[in-house]
Amino acid sequence: SPGVPWVRDTDQPLSLALKSGNFGDENFFARAQTEFPQ
């Protein structure tokens, strides 16, 4: 979703979407992972 920060750890294979609120569907995080390369 626009405006949701996506951060990635530089030392380990860890990414976070800093999402607040109750928006997006149940596939929000799975879909977000396909949008950003690891």
* Residue 14, domain member (yes or no): yes
* Residue 1, domain member (yes or no): no
Whole-structure pTM over 0.85, yes or no? no
The tally of domains found in the chain comes to: 1
**Residue-level pLDDT, tens digit, the chain, 38 residues:** 567 788 889 999 888 888 777 777 788 888 877 877 66
SS3 (DSSP) at 31: helix
* Residue 15, domain member (yes or no): yes
Q: CA-based Rg of the chain, rounded to a whole angstrom?
A: 10
Residue-level pLDDT at 37: 64
Closest CA to 16 of 30, 6, 3, 25: 6
Q: Which domain holds residue 25?
A: 6-35
